[in-house]
Amino acid sequence: MKHTTCFVFKVFLSVAVLTLAALPNVSAQATEKILHSFTGGSDGVAPEGTLIIDSKGNLYGTASEGGTAGTGTVFELSPGPNGTWTEKVVYAFSGSSSDGALPFAGLIFDGKGNLYGTTVVGGPSFGGTVFELTPGSGGTWTEKILYGFAGTDGSEPFAALIFDGTGNLYGTTLAGGAYGFGTVFELVAGSNGTWTEKVLHSFTGGNDGANPESPLVLDSKGGLYGTTASAGPRDYGAVFELTPGSNGNWSEKVIYALPGAGGSGPADGLIFDSAGNLYGTSATTVFELTPGANGTWTEKTLHTFLGGKDGAYAESGLILDKAGDLFGTTDTGGAHRGTVYELKPGSNNTWTETVLHSFAAGTGDGVFPGPANLVQDASGNLYGTTPQGGTSNAGVVFEVTP
């Protein structure tokens, strides 16, 4: 799983791919700043989820541990004068049967400013939860559990949620389901504030994949796309498509099977560009999937990480800016503690990687930024989290300015 990646495996990847090609441009081209260094106490520990930005420039995220009960927090970071930022705990999870615990994933907003997220455990059956946070007067927030997982309906939701155009929520669970290998689920809101869960697909652990721990992406026709961390036709994970049918059932199809060595394990979720191409990461590559005739997809490797200064173990997903550049992080490499990188498209379908920042231990910087995706503001600044590092080694929120 992303949050417990074996260090030996990372080292093996870093060494094994050093001979693949010459080093790309690895000169740092950006300025990094720590916006908040977690203390390891009431403000949270180990932020692993992707941040989101509101219209005022405030950042919201989750810390997987810490808080008053030690079971995680939701936090807000607000910009102030002279480049300062102030952190506030929006909610601290209790870990009880009426609440969730361990929020590894990031959050999403609805149109009214409510926050939605998941916790890996907790809830009535301790299989994890989907929760909502509603803002009130005086900066207060009220939490409500929308759904608690019990096992056959899924368990351990590690990924962030997505909305469709009608307000339904979609997500994945790492485990549970009919076969114990995870699910894709939908939550539909009722008229009285209740939510009804439906399992759209239970993974079998075979050719269809197993253990999805990344968020989904929705296409214009209502199809869902995602990745599994393991299994699939080649047993190294899969990229899948779920298509809705006329009878309310959904059909799953693997559109790409990771080949193993040099590309094992899809690292996170996928993103679309305006032409309908999909982009994602594996352990050592950034790849593109282009749709063709009759539902076929063609894979192209855009970049292979060398395991040295350019980064290693591309554990996070990607973001795409208006110019068509891709941004992401690697969990190791750089100055041995991970990187923020940019991939620029060039002529002849080539892509050039530039390392924008290399994380370094012992400097107060964050380390191992792998689990969370980056987020970009309107000015092009990049924001992210690291679950370790900082002044108390409890993780940081950082900004990278190109």
User: Which residue type occupies 5?
Assistant: T
> What is the rounded average pLDDT of the residues 394-402?
96
Token pair listed for 396: 């940081």
The span from the CA of 334 to the CA of 326, in Å, is 18
Residue that the structure tokens 């968020």 belong to: 215
> What is the rounded average pLDDT of the residues 264-279?
90
Summarize pLDDT for 288-297 with one digit per residue, the tens: 999 999 889 9
Residue that the structure tokens 């924001």 belong to: 383
- pLDDT for the residue 5: 38
Which has the higher per-residue pLDDT, 6 or 351? 351
Token pair listed for 103: 């929020």
Summarize pLDDT for 361-388 with one digit per residue, the tens: 888 999 999 789 999 999 999 999 999 9
The span from the CA of 373 to the CA of 204, in Å, is 28
- pLDDT for the residue 258: 83
- pLDDT for the residue 2: 52
Band of residue 348 on the pLDDT scale cut at 50, 70, 90: confident
The number of residues in the chain equals 402
Band of residue 22 on the pLDDT scale cut at 50, 70, 90: very low
Tally Cβ neighbours within 10 Å of residue 75: 24
- pLDDT for the residue 360: 93
Band of residue 1 on the pLDDT scale cut at 50, 70, 90: very low
Residue that the structure tokens 């009214």 belong to: 112
Task: Assess whether pLDDT exceeds 70 at residue 262.
Answer: no
Token pair listed for 402: 């190109």
Average per-residue pLDDT in the chain? 91
- pLDDT for the residue 14: 36
Token pair listed for 70: 């030690």
On whether the CB atoms of residues 320 and 328 are closer than 8 A, the answer is no
The span from the CA of 216 to the CA of 38, in Å, is 29
Tally Cβ neighbours within 10 Å of residue 327: 23
Summarize pLDDT for 83-125 with one digit per residue, the tens: 999 999 999 999 999 999 999 999 999 999 999 999 999 999 9
The span from the CA of 373 to the CA of 108, in Å, is 13
- pLDDT for the residue 225: 98
Tell which residue, 183, 245, 239, has the closest CA to residue 211: 183
Q: How far is CA 207 from the centre of its chain?
A: 24
Residue 110 backbone phi and psi in degrees, to 5: -100, 180
> What is the rounded average pLDDT of the residues 26-47?
89
Residue that the structure tokens 């009130």 belong to: 136
User: Which residue type occupies 361?
Assistant: A
Instruction: Give the domains, in start order, of the chain with CATH numbers.
Output: 2-401 (2.130.10.10)
Task: Assess whether pLDDT exceeds 70 at residue 78.
Answer: yes
Band of residue 399 on the pLDDT scale cut at 50, 70, 90: very high
CA distances from 192 to 146, 189, 333 (A): 12, 8, 51
Task: Assess whether pLDDT exceeds 90 at residue 333.
Answer: yes
Residue 138 backbone phi and psi in degrees, to 5: 70, 20
Q: How far is CA 277 from the centre of its chain?
A: 19
The span from the CA of 27 to the CA of 283, in Å, is 22
On whether the CB atoms of residues 268 and 247 are closer than 8 A, the answer is no
